[in-house]
């Protein structure tokens, strides 16, 4: 069975969705704002709050690190300065880990490079996220897998061969894997999401938990993803969708995140059990609107029952119409008035007589 545990939370087909509030760098370099994002995520019912961790000088070429970076979204004169401004260090991470524990919400981060994996391991966070951009980075995938931590891997922009390669890299090392269908479009429209890939992943990787990382606007796709079998749902999270920055505009704010978690719970409740049965709540309506086999007219004791003697009428608190063959061709042990219900104890053994089912 595809199953995964993060902290003390079990994730499987029979559980609620594990909802990740992807904060990324929507804290804008402010620890105070990050704290509020954690509090709001927990209050909205998220399972986890997530950041992003980069060792920027390892991750970027010198040219990219030093390139000018100005504009509304910039926090520095160069791209490197911008990224460093947004990056939290060990003190901030340790503080937020303590806050997450108080709030009873999981806390982990995306690792974009090997030093960031080491950084997160040193803090003993319960999981490591791998971004879509590193789906083909098999050295990083293997390095993260060797930690033994639960890995959550997004697959935006990937091909099926690349997804297989990533899974084949991780599973021989670490079977604690969640694979998320994702689309690298920001924001993604309905035609971009391809949620049917969730079913493809579930067929091809039966031992892996499957999920959905959504850059779409709204919550409908996440609920549909859950119905298709996704059990990890990741959505970007902000306090204010109008803030400058590349992620805020397609992130959920606190009311929308609360709406998402509640909608996912309703989706699970709506899906219910795969076993088709008449529930206790249905029984009164079934009795009222269903039908039973009754006598068309007064019938004397010893009467040989034919098709002309029987009709199906409501309420449905007796022999159901599909049991008609159990009534035809048998004799009554006692009189049965019009609309009287046929019952096995009122009938003698069947009489061998041709044409009784259609007699009349």
- E strands of 204-332, at which residues? 209-214, 232-236, 292-295, 310-313, 330-332
Question: pLDDT tens-digit profile of 172-211?
Answer: 999 999 999 999 999 999 999 999 999 999 999 999 999 9
Mean pLDDT of the region 234-252: 86
* Pairing of the two strands 347-350 and 330-332: antiparallel
Encoding tokens for residue 289?
A: 């609107």
The single residue listed with the structure tokens 């990083």 is: 140
Domains of the chain: 13-271 (3.20.20.70), 283-358 (3.90.1210.10)
pLDDT confidence bin for 141, thresholds 50/70/90: very high
As a whole number of Å, the end-to-end CA separation of the chain is 59
The whole-number pLDDT of residue 1 equals 54
Question: Helices 197-204 and 160-170: crossing angle, nearest 10°?
Answer: 40
Can you tell me the distance from the alpha carbon of 235 to that of 360, in angstroms, rounded to the nearest whole number? 69
- Which residues share a beta bridge with 110? 52, 129
Which residues lie below 8 Å from residue 194, measured CB to CB, with a gap of 6+?
181, 183
Closest CA to 17 of 274, 265, 266: 265
Say if residues 211 and 232 touch (Cβ distance below 8 Å). yes
Q: How many CB atoms lie within 10 A of CB 279?
A: 9
HSE-CB for 32 with a 13 A CA cutoff: 0
> Over 60: is that where the pLDDT of 229 sits?
yes
Mean pLDDT, rounded, of the chain: 94
pTM: 0.88
Question: pLDDT tens-digit profile of 48-74?
Answer: 999 999 999 999 999 999 999 987 788
């Amino acid at each position: 069975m595809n199953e995964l545990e993060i902290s003390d939370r079990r994730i499987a087909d029979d559980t609620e969705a594990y909802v990740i509030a992807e904060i990324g760098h929507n804290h804008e370099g402010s620890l105070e704002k990050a704290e509020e994002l954690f509090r709001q995520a927990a209050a909205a019912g998220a399972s986890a709050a997530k950041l992003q961790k980069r060792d920027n000088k390892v991750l970027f070429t010198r040219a990219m690190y030093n390139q000018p970076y100005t504009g509304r979204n910039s926090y520095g004169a160069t791209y490197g300065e911008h990224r460093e401004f947004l990056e939290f260090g060990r003190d901030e991470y340790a503080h937020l880990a303590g806050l997450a524990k108080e709030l009873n919400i999981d806390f982990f981060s995306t690792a974009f490079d090997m030093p960031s994996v080491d950084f997160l391991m040193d803090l003993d966070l319960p999981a490591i996220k791998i971004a879509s951009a590193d789906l083909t980075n098999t050295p990083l995938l293997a390095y993260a897998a060797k930690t033994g931590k639960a890995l959550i891997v997004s697959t935006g922009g990937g091909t099926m061969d690349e997804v297989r390669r990533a899974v084949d890299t991780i599973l021989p090392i670490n079977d604690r894997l969640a694979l998320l269908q994702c689309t690298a479009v920001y924001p993604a429209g309905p035609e971009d999401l391809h949620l049917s890939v969730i079913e493809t992943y579930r067929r091809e990787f039966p031992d892996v938990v499957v999920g959905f990382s959504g850059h779409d606007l709204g919550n409908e796709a996440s609920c549909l993803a859950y119905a298709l079998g996704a059990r990890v749902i990741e959505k970007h999270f902000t306090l204010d969708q109008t803030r400058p920055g590349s992620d805020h505009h397609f992130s959920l704010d606190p009311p929308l995140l609360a709406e998402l978690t509640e909608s996912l719970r309703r989706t699970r409740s709506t899906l219910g059990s795969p076993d088709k049965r008449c529930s206790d709540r249905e029984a009164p309506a079934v009795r009222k609107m269903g039908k039973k086999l009754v006598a068309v007219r007064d019938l004397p004791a010893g009467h040989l029952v034919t098709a002309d003697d029987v009709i199906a009428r409501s309420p449905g608190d007796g022999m159901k119409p599909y049991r008609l063959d159990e009534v035809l061709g048998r004799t009554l042990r006692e009189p049965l008035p019009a609309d009287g219900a046929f019952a096995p104890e009122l009938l003698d053994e069947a009489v061998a007589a041709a044409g009784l089912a259609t007699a009349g």
